[in-house]
Structure 1
Protein backbone atom coordinates (compact mmCIF):
# COMPACT_ATOMS: atom_id res chain seq x y z
CA UNK A 1 0.00 0.00 0.00
CA UNK A 2 1.40 3.39 -1.01
CA UNK A 3 1.83 5.77 1.93
CA UNK A 4 0.89 9.38 1.19
CA UNK A 5 0.62 12.51 3.29
CA UNK A 6 -1.98 14.92 1.96
CA UNK A 7 -0.57 18.37 1.31
CA UNK A 8 -3.14 21.17 1.38
CA UNK A 9 -2.42 24.67 0.22
CA UNK A 10 -3.73 27.10 2.85
CA UNK A 11 -5.95 30.13 2.23
CA UNK A 12 -7.51 28.90 -0.98
CA UNK A 13 -11.15 30.01 -0.79
CA UNK A 14 -12.23 33.36 -2.26
CA UNK A 15 -13.07 34.79 1.18
CA UNK A 16 -9.54 34.22 2.40
CA UNK A 17 -6.45 36.28 1.69
CA UNK A 18 -3.95 35.30 -1.01
CA UNK A 19 -0.71 33.73 0.09
CA UNK A 20 2.21 34.36 -2.23
CA UNK A 21 4.03 31.22 -3.16
CA UNK A 22 7.50 31.12 -4.70
CA UNK A 23 8.65 28.76 -7.39
CA UNK A 24 9.75 26.38 -4.62
CA UNK A 25 6.05 25.59 -4.18
CA UNK A 26 6.23 23.15 -7.06
CA UNK A 27 9.14 21.32 -5.48
CA UNK A 28 7.32 21.24 -2.16
CA UNK A 29 4.27 19.77 -3.84
CA UNK A 30 6.38 17.14 -5.58
CA UNK A 31 7.93 16.07 -2.32
CA UNK A 32 4.59 16.29 -0.49
CA UNK A 33 6.16 17.91 2.51
CA UNK A 34 6.78 21.57 3.24
CA UNK A 35 3.29 22.94 2.93
CA UNK A 36 1.69 20.22 5.04
CA UNK A 37 2.38 22.38 8.09
CA UNK A 38 0.91 25.48 6.42
CA UNK A 39 4.32 27.02 5.75
CA UNK A 40 4.38 29.70 3.09
CA UNK A 41 7.01 31.44 1.04
CA UNK A 42 7.29 35.06 -0.01
CA UNK A 43 8.54 36.14 -3.40
CA UNK A 44 10.80 39.08 -3.98
CA UNK A 45 9.11 42.31 -5.02
CA UNK A 46 7.96 42.25 -8.66
CA UNK A 47 10.50 43.53 -11.14
CA UNK A 48 10.33 46.98 -12.68
CA UNK A 49 8.60 46.86 -16.06
CA UNK A 50 10.67 47.13 -19.23
CA UNK A 51 9.67 47.69 -22.84
CA UNK A 52 7.55 44.74 -23.99
CA UNK A 53 6.57 43.66 -20.49
CA UNK A 54 2.95 43.20 -19.42
CA UNK A 55 2.25 45.32 -16.36
CA UNK A 56 -0.61 44.42 -14.02
CA UNK A 57 -2.85 46.31 -13.76
CA UNK A 58 -2.96 47.90 -17.21
CA UNK A 59 -5.04 47.79 -20.37
CA UNK A 60 -3.28 44.51 -21.20
CA UNK A 61 -3.71 42.95 -17.75
CA UNK A 62 -7.04 43.41 -15.99
CA UNK A 63 -8.21 41.92 -12.71
CA UNK A 64 -11.55 40.39 -13.67
CA UNK A 65 -12.44 38.72 -10.35
CA UNK A 66 -11.13 40.59 -7.30
CA UNK A 67 -12.57 37.97 -4.91
CA UNK A 68 -11.33 34.86 -6.70
CA UNK A 69 -8.86 33.97 -3.95
CA UNK A 70 -5.99 31.64 -4.80
CA UNK A 71 -7.03 28.79 -7.11
CA UNK A 72 -4.55 25.98 -7.71
CA UNK A 73 -5.78 25.50 -11.30
CA UNK A 74 -7.62 27.61 -13.88
CA UNK A 75 -9.42 26.40 -17.02
CA UNK A 76 -11.12 28.66 -19.59
CA UNK A 77 -13.88 26.86 -21.49
CA UNK A 78 -13.56 29.11 -24.59
CA UNK A 79 -17.30 29.73 -24.38
CA UNK A 80 -17.50 32.68 -22.00
CA UNK A 81 -16.49 31.17 -18.66
CA UNK A 82 -13.42 30.32 -16.63
CA UNK A 83 -13.41 27.52 -14.05
CA UNK A 84 -11.34 27.70 -10.88
CA UNK A 85 -10.25 24.74 -8.74
CA UNK A 86 -9.18 25.19 -5.12
CA UNK A 87 -7.11 22.88 -2.96
CA UNK A 88 -9.91 22.81 -0.38
CA UNK A 89 -12.11 20.93 -2.85
CA UNK A 90 -14.21 23.68 -4.42
CA UNK A 91 -14.93 24.21 -8.12
CA UNK A 92 -16.10 27.71 -9.07
CA UNK A 93 -17.28 29.31 -12.33
CA UNK A 94 -16.55 32.86 -13.40
CA UNK A 95 -18.91 34.27 -16.04
CA UNK A 96 -16.70 36.54 -18.13
CA UNK A 97 -19.64 38.63 -19.40
CA UNK A 98 -21.19 39.43 -16.02
CA UNK A 99 -18.31 38.86 -13.60
CA UNK A 100 -20.51 36.56 -11.52
CA UNK A 101 -18.58 34.01 -9.48
CA UNK A 102 -20.65 30.93 -8.61
CA UNK A 103 -19.93 27.59 -6.97
CA UNK A 104 -20.36 24.47 -9.14
CA UNK A 105 -19.69 22.04 -6.29
CA UNK A 106 -17.62 21.53 -3.14
CA UNK A 107 -16.00 18.65 -1.29
CA UNK A 108 -13.99 17.33 -4.22
CA UNK A 109 -10.88 16.68 -2.15
CA UNK A 110 -7.35 18.08 -2.18
CA UNK A 111 -7.44 19.43 -5.75
CA UNK A 112 -4.51 20.06 -8.07
CA UNK A 113 -5.69 20.30 -11.70
CA UNK A 114 -8.75 21.06 -13.82
CA UNK A 115 -9.64 20.72 -17.50
CA UNK A 116 -13.01 21.41 -19.11
CA UNK A 117 -14.48 19.71 -22.17
CA UNK A 118 -17.91 18.72 -23.46
CA UNK A 119 -19.86 20.09 -20.51
CA UNK A 120 -17.68 18.50 -17.83
CA UNK A 121 -14.75 19.40 -15.63
CA UNK A 122 -12.03 16.81 -15.10
CA UNK A 123 -10.42 17.21 -11.69
CA UNK A 124 -7.20 15.76 -10.29
CA UNK A 125 -6.41 15.54 -6.60
CA UNK A 126 -3.39 14.93 -4.42
CA UNK A 127 -4.99 11.77 -3.06
CA UNK A 128 -4.71 10.08 -6.47
CA UNK A 129 -8.29 10.50 -7.61
CA UNK A 130 -9.57 11.67 -11.00
CA UNK A 131 -13.17 12.93 -11.01
CA UNK A 132 -15.60 14.12 -13.68
CA UNK A 133 -17.99 16.91 -12.67
CA UNK A 134 -21.04 18.01 -14.65
CA UNK A 135 -20.81 21.77 -15.16
CA UNK A 136 -24.59 21.98 -15.44
CA UNK A 137 -25.57 20.12 -12.27
CA UNK A 138 -22.41 19.76 -10.16
CA UNK A 139 -22.87 15.99 -10.01
CA UNK A 140 -19.67 13.99 -9.97
CA UNK A 141 -18.30 10.56 -10.61
CA UNK A 142 -14.92 9.00 -10.00
CA UNK A 143 -13.03 7.94 -13.13
CA UNK A 144 -9.95 6.58 -11.35
CA UNK A 145 -8.76 6.22 -7.76
CA UNK A 146 -5.83 4.79 -5.80
CA UNK A 147 -3.25 6.35 -8.12
CA UNK A 148 -0.15 8.30 -7.03
CA UNK A 149 -0.76 11.99 -6.33
CA UNK A 150 -2.16 13.59 -9.50
CA UNK A 151 -1.42 17.06 -10.87
CA UNK A 152 -1.87 18.04 -14.54
CA UNK A 153 -4.93 16.98 -16.52
CA UNK A 154 -5.99 17.30 -20.16
CA UNK A 155 -8.55 15.76 -22.50
CA UNK A 156 -7.83 14.44 -25.98
CA UNK A 157 -10.56 12.63 -27.86
CA UNK A 158 -12.41 10.35 -25.47
CA UNK A 159 -9.51 9.95 -23.05
CA UNK A 160 -8.45 11.94 -20.00
CA UNK A 161 -4.71 12.16 -19.38
CA UNK A 162 -3.07 13.08 -16.08
CA UNK A 163 0.46 13.56 -14.73
CA UNK A 164 1.37 11.91 -11.46
CA UNK A 165 3.96 12.18 -8.69
CA UNK A 166 5.88 9.21 -10.12
CA UNK A 167 6.71 11.19 -13.28
CA UNK A 168 4.24 9.34 -15.48
CA UNK A 169 1.40 10.22 -17.82
CA UNK A 170 -1.65 8.08 -17.08
CA UNK A 171 -4.45 7.60 -19.62
CA UNK A 172 -8.03 7.07 -18.45
CA UNK A 173 -10.25 6.29 -21.45
CA UNK A 174 -13.99 6.88 -21.13
CA UNK A 175 -15.42 3.67 -19.70
CA UNK A 176 -11.94 2.15 -19.43
CA UNK A 177 -9.20 1.45 -16.90
CA UNK A 178 -6.33 3.78 -16.02
CA UNK A 179 -2.97 2.79 -17.52
CA UNK A 180 0.48 4.37 -17.63
CA UNK A 181 1.42 5.48 -21.15
CA UNK A 182 4.74 7.26 -20.48
CA UNK A 183 7.30 7.48 -17.67
CA UNK A 184 10.42 9.45 -16.75
CA UNK A 185 8.76 12.86 -17.06
CA UNK A 186 9.75 14.24 -13.65
CA UNK A 187 7.31 16.57 -11.90
CA UNK A 188 4.90 18.43 -14.14
CA UNK A 189 2.15 20.57 -12.67
CA UNK A 190 0.43 20.88 -16.05
CA UNK A 191 -0.32 18.95 -19.21
CA UNK A 192 -1.38 20.09 -22.70
CA UNK A 193 -2.04 18.55 -26.12
CA UNK A 194 -1.59 19.83 -29.65
CA UNK A 195 -3.99 19.10 -32.49
CA UNK A 196 -1.98 16.04 -33.52
CA UNK A 197 -2.40 14.43 -30.11
CA UNK A 198 1.14 15.00 -28.85
CA UNK A 199 1.36 15.81 -25.14
CA UNK A 200 3.49 18.54 -23.55
CA UNK A 201 4.68 18.78 -19.96
CA UNK A 202 7.11 20.93 -17.97
CA UNK A 203 9.40 19.17 -15.50
CA UNK A 204 9.85 21.60 -12.61
CA UNK A 205 12.64 19.52 -11.08
CA UNK A 206 15.01 19.53 -14.09
CA UNK A 207 13.65 22.40 -16.19
CA UNK A 208 12.83 20.25 -19.23
CA UNK A 209 9.97 21.05 -21.59
CA UNK A 210 8.90 17.65 -22.95
CA UNK A 211 6.89 16.35 -25.88
CA UNK A 212 5.37 12.88 -25.48
CA UNK A 213 3.71 10.60 -28.00
CA UNK A 214 1.09 8.99 -25.76
CA UNK A 215 0.46 6.27 -28.35
CA UNK A 216 4.04 5.00 -28.22
CA UNK A 217 5.26 6.36 -24.88
CA UNK A 218 8.29 8.02 -26.49
CA UNK A 219 9.37 11.39 -25.11
CA UNK A 220 11.75 14.01 -26.44
CA UNK A 221 13.14 17.11 -24.79
CA UNK A 222 12.33 20.41 -26.51
CA UNK A 223 14.01 22.75 -24.01
CA UNK A 224 16.50 22.20 -21.20
CA UNK A 225 17.61 24.27 -18.22
CA UNK A 226 14.44 26.33 -17.89
CA UNK A 227 14.30 27.28 -14.20
CA UNK A 228 11.31 25.51 -12.63
CA UNK A 229 8.75 25.94 -15.44
CA UNK A 230 5.32 26.06 -13.84
CA UNK A 231 2.74 25.91 -16.60
CA UNK A 232 2.32 24.51 -20.07
CA UNK A 233 -0.13 25.46 -22.82
CA UNK A 234 -0.43 25.02 -26.57
CA UNK A 235 -1.58 28.14 -28.39
CA UNK A 236 -3.80 28.40 -31.42
CA UNK A 237 -0.59 29.10 -33.35
CA UNK A 238 0.64 25.60 -32.47
CA UNK A 239 3.49 26.92 -30.31
CA UNK A 240 4.08 25.67 -26.77
CA UNK A 241 3.93 28.32 -24.03
CA UNK A 242 5.36 28.01 -20.54
CA UNK A 243 6.31 30.20 -17.58
CA UNK A 244 9.68 30.56 -15.86
CA UNK A 245 9.52 32.85 -12.80
CA UNK A 246 7.64 35.88 -14.18
CA UNK A 247 8.76 35.29 -17.78
CA UNK A 248 6.52 33.73 -20.43
CA UNK A 249 8.37 31.79 -23.13
CA UNK A 250 7.33 29.80 -26.16
CA UNK A 251 8.96 27.04 -28.17
CA UNK A 252 8.34 25.75 -31.67
CA UNK A 253 8.05 21.99 -31.20
CA UNK A 254 8.99 21.32 -34.82
CA UNK A 255 12.23 23.31 -34.78
CA UNK A 256 13.10 23.40 -31.08
CA UNK A 257 13.56 27.18 -31.27
CA UNK A 258 12.41 28.99 -28.14
CA UNK A 259 11.83 32.71 -27.67
CA UNK A 260 10.89 35.26 -25.06
CA UNK A 261 7.25 36.39 -25.11
CA UNK A 262 6.95 38.81 -22.18
CA UNK A 263 7.49 39.33 -18.48
CA UNK A 264 4.42 39.64 -16.26
CA UNK A 265 5.16 42.51 -13.88
CA UNK A 266 3.19 43.78 -10.90
CA UNK A 267 1.82 40.49 -9.61
CA UNK A 268 3.46 37.31 -8.39
CA UNK A 269 1.66 34.59 -10.32
CA UNK A 270 2.48 30.90 -10.19
CA UNK A 271 1.23 29.88 -13.65
CA UNK A 272 -1.21 30.80 -16.39
CA UNK A 273 -3.82 29.07 -18.52
CA UNK A 274 -4.16 29.91 -22.19
CA UNK A 275 -7.52 30.30 -23.92
CA UNK A 276 -8.15 29.62 -27.60
CA UNK A 277 -8.44 33.37 -28.15
CA UNK A 278 -4.81 33.85 -27.16
CA UNK A 279 -5.75 35.50 -23.85
CA UNK A 280 -4.21 34.07 -20.69
CA UNK A 281 -5.63 33.79 -17.18
CA UNK A 282 -3.60 33.85 -13.99
CA UNK A 283 -4.11 34.41 -10.26
CA UNK A 284 -1.97 36.64 -8.09
CA UNK A 285 -1.26 40.12 -6.84
CA UNK A 286 -1.27 41.66 -3.38
CA UNK A 287 -5.06 41.83 -3.38
CA UNK A 288 -5.57 38.42 -4.93
CA UNK A 289 -8.01 37.83 -7.73
CA UNK A 290 -8.09 36.46 -11.25
CA UNK A 291 -6.34 38.39 -14.03
CA UNK A 292 -6.79 38.33 -17.81
CA UNK A 293 -3.76 39.04 -20.00
CA UNK A 294 -5.04 40.05 -23.40
CA UNK A 295 -3.54 38.66 -26.59
CA UNK A 296 -0.60 36.85 -25.00
CA UNK A 297 0.10 34.72 -28.07
CA UNK A 298 0.16 37.73 -30.38
CA UNK A 299 3.00 39.44 -28.52
Structure 2
Protein backbone atom coordinates (compact mmCIF):
# COMPACT_ATOMS: atom_id res chain seq x y z
CA UNK A 1 0.00 0.00 0.00
CA UNK A 2 1.26 3.45 -0.82
CA UNK A 3 1.76 5.99 1.92
CA UNK A 4 0.56 9.54 1.74
CA UNK A 5 2.68 12.56 2.60
CA UNK A 6 1.89 16.06 3.70
CA UNK A 7 2.50 18.79 1.18
CA UNK A 8 5.05 21.45 2.05
CA UNK A 9 5.29 24.52 -0.15
CA UNK A 10 8.90 25.35 -0.88
CA UNK A 11 10.28 28.69 -2.09
CA UNK A 12 11.25 27.40 -5.54
CA UNK A 13 10.33 29.21 -8.70
CA UNK A 14 7.38 30.86 -10.29
CA UNK A 15 7.48 33.96 -12.54
CA UNK A 16 7.42 36.34 -9.58
CA UNK A 17 9.71 34.26 -7.36
CA UNK A 18 13.43 33.65 -7.76
CA UNK A 19 15.64 30.58 -7.67
CA UNK A 20 18.65 31.63 -5.67
CA UNK A 21 21.20 29.21 -7.04
CA UNK A 22 22.30 25.65 -7.59
CA UNK A 23 23.54 25.12 -4.04
CA UNK A 24 20.22 26.01 -2.46
CA UNK A 25 18.24 24.03 -5.03
CA UNK A 26 20.34 20.92 -4.57
CA UNK A 27 20.01 21.26 -0.81
CA UNK A 28 16.23 21.44 -1.06
CA UNK A 29 16.08 18.49 -3.43
CA UNK A 30 18.27 16.35 -1.21
CA UNK A 31 16.23 17.27 1.85
CA UNK A 32 13.13 16.03 0.04
CA UNK A 33 14.91 12.78 -0.75
CA UNK A 34 16.08 12.10 2.80
CA UNK A 35 15.07 8.44 2.69
CA UNK A 36 17.53 7.43 -0.02
CA UNK A 37 18.13 3.74 -0.38
CA UNK A 38 20.34 1.64 -2.62
CA UNK A 39 18.89 -0.95 -4.98
CA UNK A 40 21.07 -1.18 -8.09
CA UNK A 41 22.27 -4.59 -9.07
CA UNK A 42 25.04 -4.13 -11.64
CA UNK A 43 27.68 -1.53 -12.47
CA UNK A 44 29.07 -1.10 -15.97
CA UNK A 45 32.38 0.01 -17.47
CA UNK A 46 34.52 2.82 -16.07
CA UNK A 47 34.00 6.18 -17.78
CA UNK A 48 36.10 7.29 -20.73
CA UNK A 49 36.08 11.07 -20.87
CA UNK A 50 37.02 13.16 -23.90
CA UNK A 51 36.73 16.91 -23.32
CA UNK A 52 35.28 19.42 -25.73
CA UNK A 53 34.93 23.17 -25.37
CA UNK A 54 32.94 25.06 -22.77
CA UNK A 55 29.64 26.75 -23.55
CA UNK A 56 29.47 30.31 -22.27
CA UNK A 57 26.16 32.01 -21.54
CA UNK A 58 25.25 34.33 -23.11
CA UNK A 59 26.77 33.52 -26.51
CA UNK A 60 25.65 32.33 -29.91
CA UNK A 61 25.46 28.81 -28.42
CA UNK A 62 23.52 29.86 -25.32
CA UNK A 63 20.77 32.46 -25.65
CA UNK A 64 18.24 33.70 -23.10
CA UNK A 65 14.97 33.35 -25.00
CA UNK A 66 12.40 34.20 -22.32
CA UNK A 67 13.57 36.64 -19.62
CA UNK A 68 10.01 36.92 -18.27
CA UNK A 69 9.75 33.17 -17.68
CA UNK A 70 11.17 33.49 -14.17
CA UNK A 71 12.36 30.13 -12.87
CA UNK A 72 10.17 27.16 -13.80
CA UNK A 73 10.74 23.94 -11.89
CA UNK A 74 10.15 21.82 -15.01
CA UNK A 75 10.35 22.36 -18.77
CA UNK A 76 8.79 20.24 -21.52
CA UNK A 77 9.89 21.21 -25.06
CA UNK A 78 7.51 19.55 -27.52
CA UNK A 79 8.70 20.79 -30.93
CA UNK A 80 10.74 23.56 -32.54
CA UNK A 81 8.06 26.12 -31.69
CA UNK A 82 6.70 25.33 -28.26
CA UNK A 83 7.64 24.39 -24.72
CA UNK A 84 5.53 24.10 -21.59
CA UNK A 85 6.71 25.39 -18.23
CA UNK A 86 5.56 24.30 -14.76
CA UNK A 87 6.05 26.42 -11.64
CA UNK A 88 6.04 25.55 -7.96
CA UNK A 89 3.29 28.12 -7.44
CA UNK A 90 0.89 25.97 -9.47
CA UNK A 91 1.05 27.65 -12.89
CA UNK A 92 1.33 25.91 -16.27
CA UNK A 93 2.46 28.20 -19.11
CA UNK A 94 2.99 27.78 -22.84
CA UNK A 95 6.15 29.33 -24.27
CA UNK A 96 6.60 30.36 -27.90
CA UNK A 97 10.26 29.47 -28.45
CA UNK A 98 10.66 31.90 -31.35
CA UNK A 99 9.25 35.02 -29.72
CA UNK A 100 9.53 34.29 -25.99
CA UNK A 101 5.78 34.93 -25.58
CA UNK A 102 4.21 33.26 -22.53
CA UNK A 103 0.57 32.16 -22.47
CA UNK A 104 -1.20 30.81 -19.41
CA UNK A 105 -2.76 27.37 -19.70
CA UNK A 106 -4.06 27.09 -16.15
CA UNK A 107 -3.11 27.84 -12.55
CA UNK A 108 -3.81 26.56 -9.05
CA UNK A 109 -2.34 23.12 -9.74
CA UNK A 110 -0.47 22.90 -6.43
CA UNK A 111 3.19 22.76 -5.50
CA UNK A 112 4.44 21.45 -8.85
CA UNK A 113 7.63 19.49 -9.55
CA UNK A 114 7.50 17.87 -12.99
CA UNK A 115 5.82 18.12 -16.39
CA UNK A 116 5.62 15.87 -19.45
CA UNK A 117 3.60 16.48 -22.61
CA UNK A 118 1.97 13.85 -24.84
CA UNK A 119 -1.13 13.57 -27.02
CA UNK A 120 -2.36 17.09 -26.36
CA UNK A 121 -2.09 16.83 -22.58
CA UNK A 122 0.36 17.84 -19.88
CA UNK A 123 1.06 15.36 -17.08
CA UNK A 124 2.07 17.16 -13.93
CA UNK A 125 3.51 15.98 -10.60
CA UNK A 126 3.11 17.81 -7.31
CA UNK A 127 4.88 17.66 -3.98
CA UNK A 128 1.64 16.64 -2.26
CA UNK A 129 1.69 13.28 -4.07
CA UNK A 130 -0.79 14.20 -6.81
CA UNK A 131 -0.51 13.40 -10.52
CA UNK A 132 -2.74 15.51 -12.76
CA UNK A 133 -3.59 15.57 -16.46
CA UNK A 134 -4.23 18.98 -18.06
CA UNK A 135 -5.68 19.54 -21.52
CA UNK A 136 -3.36 21.91 -23.38
CA UNK A 137 -6.27 23.12 -25.52
CA UNK A 138 -8.74 23.98 -22.76
CA UNK A 139 -6.84 23.91 -19.45
CA UNK A 140 -9.30 21.35 -18.10
CA UNK A 141 -7.72 19.09 -15.52
CA UNK A 142 -8.32 15.77 -13.85
CA UNK A 143 -6.50 13.88 -11.13
CA UNK A 144 -4.95 10.59 -12.22
CA UNK A 145 -3.53 9.64 -8.81
CA UNK A 146 -3.46 11.13 -5.33
CA UNK A 147 -2.26 10.25 -1.84
CA UNK A 148 1.14 9.08 -3.11
CA UNK A 149 4.51 10.06 -1.61
CA UNK A 150 5.87 13.39 -2.89
CA UNK A 151 6.21 13.20 -6.69
CA UNK A 152 8.98 14.64 -8.86
CA UNK A 153 9.94 13.30 -12.30
CA UNK A 154 7.26 12.34 -14.83
CA UNK A 155 7.30 10.71 -18.26
CA UNK A 156 4.85 9.02 -20.61
CA UNK A 157 5.48 5.72 -22.35
CA UNK A 158 2.67 4.15 -24.34
CA UNK A 159 -0.58 4.55 -22.43
CA UNK A 160 1.06 4.80 -19.01
CA UNK A 161 2.36 7.75 -17.01
CA UNK A 162 5.41 7.04 -14.87
CA UNK A 163 6.60 9.16 -11.94
CA UNK A 164 9.45 9.18 -9.44
CA UNK A 165 8.67 9.70 -5.78
CA UNK A 166 10.37 10.68 -2.53
CA UNK A 167 10.60 7.04 -1.46
CA UNK A 168 13.05 6.17 -4.25
CA UNK A 169 10.41 4.47 -6.38
CA UNK A 170 9.05 4.56 -9.90
CA UNK A 171 5.26 4.47 -9.88
CA UNK A 172 3.21 3.52 -12.97
CA UNK A 173 -0.24 5.02 -13.54
CA UNK A 174 -1.86 3.36 -16.57
CA UNK A 175 -4.66 5.20 -18.36
CA UNK A 176 -7.86 4.24 -16.59
CA UNK A 177 -5.94 2.15 -14.06
CA UNK A 178 -4.56 2.27 -10.53
CA UNK A 179 -1.14 3.52 -9.47
CA UNK A 180 1.37 0.81 -8.60
CA UNK A 181 5.06 0.74 -7.70
CA UNK A 182 7.17 -0.88 -10.43
CA UNK A 183 10.70 -0.23 -9.10
CA UNK A 184 12.27 0.57 -5.73
CA UNK A 185 15.67 1.45 -4.28
CA UNK A 186 16.41 4.22 -6.78
CA UNK A 187 17.36 6.98 -4.34
CA UNK A 188 16.21 10.52 -5.11
CA UNK A 189 15.75 11.48 -8.75
CA UNK A 190 14.25 14.82 -9.74
CA UNK A 191 13.75 13.63 -13.32
CA UNK A 192 12.71 10.60 -15.35
CA UNK A 193 13.28 9.68 -19.01
CA UNK A 194 12.57 6.73 -21.31
CA UNK A 195 14.34 5.38 -24.35
CA UNK A 196 12.55 3.97 -27.39
CA UNK A 197 12.69 0.45 -25.96
CA UNK A 198 10.79 1.49 -22.85
CA UNK A 199 13.71 1.42 -20.42
CA UNK A 200 13.60 4.15 -17.77
CA UNK A 201 16.50 6.38 -16.64
CA UNK A 202 16.89 8.24 -13.36
CA UNK A 203 19.64 10.28 -11.70
CA UNK A 204 20.14 9.44 -8.02
CA UNK A 205 21.33 12.73 -6.55
CA UNK A 206 22.14 11.27 -3.14
CA UNK A 207 24.45 8.47 -4.24
CA UNK A 208 25.60 9.95 -7.54
CA UNK A 209 24.23 7.18 -9.74
CA UNK A 210 22.74 7.14 -13.24
CA UNK A 211 20.33 4.21 -13.28
CA UNK A 212 18.57 2.21 -15.97
CA UNK A 213 15.38 0.41 -14.95
CA UNK A 214 13.24 -2.14 -16.73
CA UNK A 215 9.78 -1.05 -15.56
CA UNK A 216 8.29 -4.38 -16.62
CA UNK A 217 10.48 -6.34 -14.20
CA UNK A 218 11.79 -3.72 -11.76
CA UNK A 219 15.40 -4.75 -12.51
CA UNK A 220 17.84 -1.85 -12.19
CA UNK A 221 21.49 -1.42 -13.11
CA UNK A 222 24.02 1.37 -12.60
CA UNK A 223 25.20 3.03 -15.81
CA UNK A 224 27.47 5.60 -14.18
CA UNK A 225 28.63 6.65 -10.71
CA UNK A 226 29.56 10.23 -9.87
CA UNK A 227 31.28 11.91 -6.91
CA UNK A 228 28.80 14.80 -7.10
CA UNK A 229 25.01 14.91 -7.43
CA UNK A 230 23.74 14.29 -10.98
CA UNK A 231 20.65 16.39 -11.62
CA UNK A 232 18.81 16.35 -14.94
CA UNK A 233 18.27 13.18 -16.93
CA UNK A 234 17.33 13.04 -20.64
CA UNK A 235 17.59 10.59 -23.52
CA UNK A 236 18.78 12.24 -26.73
CA UNK A 237 17.71 11.46 -30.28
CA UNK A 238 21.05 9.65 -30.58
CA UNK A 239 19.91 7.19 -27.88
CA UNK A 240 22.53 8.38 -25.38
CA UNK A 241 21.65 9.38 -21.82
CA UNK A 242 22.45 12.99 -20.88
CA UNK A 243 22.78 14.42 -17.38
CA UNK A 244 24.45 17.21 -15.38
CA UNK A 245 27.08 17.02 -12.66
CA UNK A 246 27.66 20.48 -11.24
CA UNK A 247 28.15 22.71 -14.30
CA UNK A 248 29.22 19.83 -16.53
CA UNK A 249 26.98 18.08 -19.06
CA UNK A 250 27.85 14.41 -19.54
CA UNK A 251 26.45 11.49 -21.48
CA UNK A 252 26.62 7.73 -21.19
CA UNK A 253 26.00 4.97 -23.69
CA UNK A 254 23.43 2.69 -22.04
CA UNK A 255 24.66 -0.35 -24.00
CA UNK A 256 28.40 -0.09 -23.45
CA UNK A 257 28.53 1.98 -20.26
CA UNK A 258 31.04 4.34 -21.88
CA UNK A 259 30.69 7.81 -20.42
CA UNK A 260 31.93 11.05 -21.99
CA UNK A 261 32.15 14.76 -21.29
CA UNK A 262 29.91 16.98 -23.45
CA UNK A 263 30.55 20.55 -22.24
CA UNK A 264 30.85 22.77 -19.20
CA UNK A 265 28.17 25.45 -18.96
CA UNK A 266 29.65 28.79 -17.91
CA UNK A 267 27.83 31.95 -16.87
CA UNK A 268 24.49 30.34 -16.01
CA UNK A 269 23.50 29.02 -12.60
CA UNK A 270 21.04 26.37 -13.77
CA UNK A 271 19.87 23.28 -11.93
CA UNK A 272 18.99 20.97 -14.81
CA UNK A 273 18.16 20.98 -18.50
CA UNK A 274 15.55 19.40 -20.75
CA UNK A 275 16.47 18.05 -24.18
CA UNK A 276 14.36 18.70 -27.26
CA UNK A 277 14.20 16.29 -30.19
CA UNK A 278 16.35 18.76 -32.16
CA UNK A 279 19.25 18.25 -29.74
CA UNK A 280 18.84 21.72 -28.25
CA UNK A 281 18.60 21.95 -24.46
CA UNK A 282 16.48 24.31 -22.36
CA UNK A 283 17.41 25.44 -18.88
CA UNK A 284 16.03 27.84 -16.29
CA UNK A 285 18.70 30.24 -15.07
CA UNK A 286 19.36 31.03 -11.43
CA UNK A 287 17.83 34.01 -9.60
CA UNK A 288 14.73 33.76 -11.77
CA UNK A 289 16.45 35.12 -14.87
CA UNK A 290 14.33 33.26 -17.38
CA UNK A 291 14.78 30.45 -19.85
CA UNK A 292 17.93 29.71 -21.86
CA UNK A 293 18.40 27.68 -25.04
CA UNK A 294 21.67 25.78 -25.52
CA UNK A 295 21.90 25.04 -29.21
CA UNK A 296 22.93 21.65 -30.57
CA UNK A 297 23.99 20.16 -27.24
CA UNK A 298 23.82 16.56 -28.42
CA UNK A 299 25.93 17.27 -31.50
CA UNK A 300 28.94 18.45 -29.48
Q: Same fold (TM over 0.5)?
A: yes
The 10-residue stretch of structure 1 (253-262 or 4-13) with the greater mean CA deviation from structure 2: 4-13
Cα deviation digits, residues 153-180 of structure 1 (max 9, x gap): 0000000000011111000001111111
Deviations 1:64-122 (A, max 9, x none): 00011111111101251111111111111101133210111000011110000111000
Q: Determine the structure 2 residue equivalent to 1:64.
A: 65
List structure 1 runs of 4+ shifted beyond 4 angstroms. none
Q: Is the 8 A contact 1:19 1:70 kept in 2?
A: no
Shift of 1:51: 6.8
Q: Compare 215-224 and 94-103 and name the one that shifted more.
A: 94-103
1:213-251 C-alpha deviation (Å, 9 max, x unpaired): 001110011011341111100000000000011100000
Q: Tell me whether 1:24 sits opposite 2:22 in the alignment.
A: no
Q: Are 1:209 and 2:210 counterparts? A: yes
Which secondary structure state, in structure 2, belongs to the residue aligned with residue 15 of structure 1? coil
Q: TM-score scaled by structure 2? A: 0.90
Unmatched segments (≥5 aa) in structure 2? 36-50
Name the stretch that deviates more: 20-29 or 112-121: 20-29
2-structure distance, mates of 1:60, 1:174: 40
The alignment's TM-score, normalised by the length of structure 1, stands at: 0.90
**Distance in 1 separating the partners of 2:21 and 2:10:** 11
What residue number does 1:125 align with? Answer: 126
Structure 1 14/134 Cα, relative in aligned 2: closer, same or farther at 3 Å?
Answer: same
Where structure 1 has 5 or more consecutive residues not aligned to the other structure, the ranges are: 33-49
Can you list the C-alpha shifts for 1:253-292, whole angstroms capped at 9, x where unaligned? 0000101000110011000000000000001145611000
2:157, 2:83 → 1: CA distance? 19
Equivalent pairs, count: 282
Q: Distance in 2 between matches of 1:183 and 1:172?
A: 15
Q: Is the 8 A contact 2:13 2:288 kept in 1?
A: no
Q: What is the alpha-carbon distance in structure 2 between the residues aligned to residue 287 and residue 225 of structure 1?
A: 28
Output the CA distance in 2 between the equivalents of 1:225 and 1:30.
17
CA distance in 2, matches of 1:140, 1:93: 16
Q: Structure with the greater relative contact order (CA < 8 A, sep ≥ 6): 1 or 2?
A: 2
